[in-house]
Amino acid sequence: MPEKTDPLCGLEFKSFQDWNGDRPSQTLIFHNNCSSWWIKVAVDGSLPEQALGLGSFKRRFVFQEFVEAIDFGQLQLLDDTVTTINLSLTEQSQNSITIRNGHQNPANFLIAVAHRMCCIIAEDPRRVIYPTLERQQCLPAFEARCLQTVEVVAPTVRTVLFKEQIFAYKTIDRPIYEPEDTEHVLNEINVLEQLRGLPSIAQLVGLVVSEDPYKTCPSTNSPAVITGFLLEYYPRGSLEQIFEDEFQFDALPIQWALQIGTALRSLHKRGRTHLDIKPSNIVLDANENAVLIDVSGTGGYVWEWLSPEMQAFIQQNSESSPANAPFEARVSTDCWAYGRLLSTMAEKIGTSGIGEKLQSIANALTKAVPESRISLCDALAQLNEK
């Protein structure tokens, strides 16, 4: 993506989206005399017919050339947030946008019809929401600008260096952001804070904070915002990655099953549930101990990893999510998913003694009738039997 940067005056292009083919949108920062505005330019309704014949690369080029030509200085931009500029073709020229001098390229069909484009300005309801840092917050805080990115390991997580130590940084900003994601991250911070010091659960290091990224005027005072949190880094990959690779299984799966089962029981004892137990939410530390991550209890879930009765609950309450189910039902789906996890491990191992033991406990945890399933405590006791 072209990055056009001039700190004093100019456009800094951020993400471009073109989900529906003919409805492109471009997010950018408009810098003008030391002030900066975040803007999302979107076309509401279909583009002129010429656009439809173009390939996606050319369409993007034409759209970005058009965005560059807009005179943003003439528009009533909103301070300290993201302004959306929704454009639609009309017959009259009220509220139309102005094209900058020297950019009136008639070969660009969007610039050519700019005088007929009606523009509606509003705050972007889909902007990333960064919560402000409460003064009473007693967790350690790390300045985002002091963290050096090492590697992007997932859309939401990157490894970073701080004072020569490596951490996992989970961010609120992510490629496909939904407004609820901020709430999920705050929930995760709360749960992690409550579970500090417990074995086999990811350990919270602190919050990541920065100046409000949307701040318009650098000299105004505004509270710092939370951009995410730091976790201890567990360097041996997730179980999902381990299962994909050739891996010599020995007694480790029993140890992992015990560690994850114990972590889950700690959560349940504190009135919490996980609701997204699956191989990608278990990582291994340097000594190959299993550690449970992604503990918000409210984030995403995978249909196939929900118990049959939780699936039925969601089907009957289409507006609902597992997090809204009663506590007992949530505990029960966690145990069911844990059984499925043991079964996945057993399949990887094959028909050895350990594989058969894991499979038989998995079967007992995932019986069709909830009342006939064994409890998590029973499963842990069976895993501990020699």
Residues in contact with Mg ion by the rule CB under 5 A: 281, 294
CB-based contacts of 93: which residues, under 8 Å, 6+ apart? 115, 116
Which residue's entry shows tokens 């002030």? 35
CB-based contacts of 60: which residues, under 8 Å, 6+ apart? 16, 18, 24
Nearer to Mg ion, 51 or 192 (CB): 192
Q: Which two tokens stand for residue 121?
A: 């300005």
Write down the least CB distance from residue 233 to ligand ADP, Å.
5
Write down the least CB distance from residue 300 to Mg ion, Å.
7
Q: Measured between alpha carbons, how far is 146 from 211 in angstroms, rounded to an integer?
A: 12
- Residue 265 touches which member of Mg ion, ligand ADP, none, C-beta under 5-8 Å by kind: none
* Near ligand ADP by CB under 6 A: residue from 156, 200, 210, 332: 156
CB-based contacts of 57: which residues, under 8 Å, 6+ apart? none
Nearer to ligand ADP, 38 or 229 (CB): 229
Asked if residue 202 binds ligand ADP (CB under 6 A), the reply is yes
* Near ligand ADP by CB under 6 A: residue from 54, 129, 133, 153: 153
Nearer to ligand ADP, 84 or 238 (CB): 238
Asked if residue 231 binds ligand ADP (CB under 6 A), the reply is yes
CB-based contacts of 137: which residues, under 8 Å, 6+ apart? 207
- Residue 124 touches which member of ligand ADP, Mg ion, none, C-beta under 5-8 Å by kind: none
Write down the least CB distance from residue 294 to ligand ADP, Å.
3
Q: Measured between alpha carbons, how far is 52 from 47 in angstroms, rounded to an integer?
A: 8
Q: Return the amino acid letter for 373.
A: R
Nearer to Mg ion, 275 or 342 (CB): 275
Q: Which two tokens stand for residue 22?
A: 């003919």
Q: Is residue 158 within 8 Å of residue 149, measured between CB atoms? A: yes
Footprint on this chain of ligand ADP (rule: CB under 6 A): 153-154, 156-157, 168, 170, 202, 231-234, 238, 280-281, 283, 293-294, 299
